[in-house]
Structure 1
Amino acid sequence: MRLPITVHRARLGATEFKVIRPARPPSHAVLIDRDRYLDVHLDRDAALRLGGLWALAATSPRALIHLPMRGNRPPSRPLPEDAAHRLDLVLVHHSLQFAPARWKEVRGRLGPGRPRTVTLPGSALESDAVVDHAARHHRENRDLFHQHLHAETLFMTGSAKVFRETARHFLDVAHEGPGHVPVHPDHPHFCTALHPNDGVLGDAREIHIRYREDWGP
């Protein structure tokens, strides 16, 4: 998969931060804070690009990967009651030890960035990759996501392994969503989730990832 990106840099004191953004952030994607859990609504193109960014986070331990999306319009219908609580998304490798409290200042110092295209190997985007589910539930498992909210941004911090193994959720939405046939009126859209039972969430809330194609003009 070829993923067009822009690479930005910002300096705070003696520290320089590298920030990666998609060259064309998807407009049909929203991240909503629903209090008890988080909701991602997106179309096929956004699901593919977000899956690519998720996989890129596994191979970019020294960069912050930023998806600006809080200004996007939510899907047309049904409109979530709390769609006003929309967030940006930043993916962070845990080894960077980035403090989210610094994000607002970093974000404010970013320039236009330099365009690049990264090529993600097929192995990084395998939706049926073999996962040791039993190992995820071992007490020693450290491949977990942790979340922080700051400056209208959700920070997903995790290891290369957990980013790599969970990118498939977005690929599942891209592949299964467009042809999904509802089996119950309460669940009209294809949905998958990062769930506590999956053994990938540490200090983190559940994330529902929903395919939507009704975005309107």
Structure 2
Amino acid sequence: MSTRVRIHQVRQGGGTGLRVIRAAPAPVRLALRDDRHWLSMYADREGAGRLVELWALAARSAHSLVYLPIRANAAPEGVPGDGEPVALDLVLLHHSLQFPTASWKEVRGRLGAGKPHTASTPDRDFPDETDVDHGRWRHQEYRDHLDFHVAAHTLFVVGSSTAFREHGAALRGLVDEAPSYLHRHPGASHYCVELGPGPWPHARTRRQVPGSLHIQYADTWRV
């Protein structure tokens, strides 16, 4: 897989360097909302493909933030919502970076134009869903979970390479399964993937972020 990005080098306080990989152009048919009770993402075929490509890139980019500036994208017409949902950007990063999300607004404002680059990852960089041992996620000693943070109108999905790859196996279904799903299952309402932080479902994380990211495939997109 290959995807077009821009590479940014940003100096933080104390002279520390930070590398940000920005999706450029940003996916148009990919929208993310905080619906108060859960996080909702919508993707058509192209948007799902870009998400999977950038997720695979994040799995291999332990020293970079992968940034999808999608906050301005409108969600498809007619999707359910509770109250006034808040539009969000998306950043994927490794927990080993220990990036302080409170500093993101300043970092984002200093990105500049960046340098164009084409990033490549293997076509099948994720395991098959059937090869992921979901049972071990519930073992107390297992640490390769995702975590969610929200700051500066941005959802941060934080994890290890293993966490990104294992959850990427489910995301792959948005590309492989979703386009033909309603034809194969006429009674279904939609195809979706649901990701959560930690081994057990929670209504909210300890940082009061919704504990469920619901990603819905939306082939017909009206705004």
TM-score by length of 2: 0.87
SS at match of 1:167: helix
Pick closer, same or farther for the CA change 1:78–1:57 going to 2, 3 Å: closer
Cα distance in 2 for partners of 1:133, 1:210 equals: 21
Tell me the residue number matched to 2:29.
28
Moved more, 10-19 or 102-111: 10-19
* Residues 174 and 211, structure 1, Cα contact 8 Å, conserved in 2: no
Tell me which residue corresponds to 1:167. 168
Q: In structure 2, how many angstroms separate the alpha carbons of the residues matched to 1:48 and 1:137?
A: 30
SS at match of 1:8: strand
1:135-174 matched pairs, under 5 angstroms? 135-174=136-175
Match of 2:178 in 1: 177
Residue 214 (structure 2) aligns with: 208
Change (3 A) 1:196 1:144: closer
Please say which of residues 76-85 and 148-157 is displaced more in the overlay: 76-85
Q: Deviations over 1:69-118 (max 9, x none)?
A: 11001102245355641100111101000000110000000011111112
Alignment of 1:85-124 (within 5 A): 85-124=86-125
Give the direction of change, closer, same or farther, for the CA distance of 1:143–1:197 in structure 2 (3 Å limit): closer
What CA distance in whole angstroms lies between the structure 1 residues aligned with 2:113 and 2:87?
24
Q: Is the 8 A contact 1:127 1:167 kept in 2?
A: no
Aligned 8 A contact 2:127 2:165 in 1: no
Gaps in structure 1 of 5+ consecutive residues: none
- 2:11 alignment counterpart: 11
8 A Cα contact 1:77 1:214, kept in partner = no
The residue aligned with 1:67 is: 68
CA distance in 2 between counterparts of 1:140 and 1:116 reads 39
Structure-2 change in CA distance of 1:189 and 1:7 (3 Å): same
Distance verdict in 2 for CA 1:198–1:62, change over 3 Å:
same
Q: TM-score, normalised by structure 1?
A: 0.89
Deviations 1:40-76 (A, max 9, x none): 1110111111111111111111101110111001102
Q: State the Cα RMSD in Å.
A: 2.3
The size of the alignment, in residue pairs, is: 215
Q: Distance in 2 between matches of 1:117 and 1:51?
A: 15
Distance 1:99 1:61, change over 3 A: same
Aligned counterparts of 1:81 and 1:200: Cα–Cα separation in 2: 20
Cα-to-partner distance string for 1:178-207 (whole Å, 9 max, x where unaligned): 2222554xx522112114796698867111
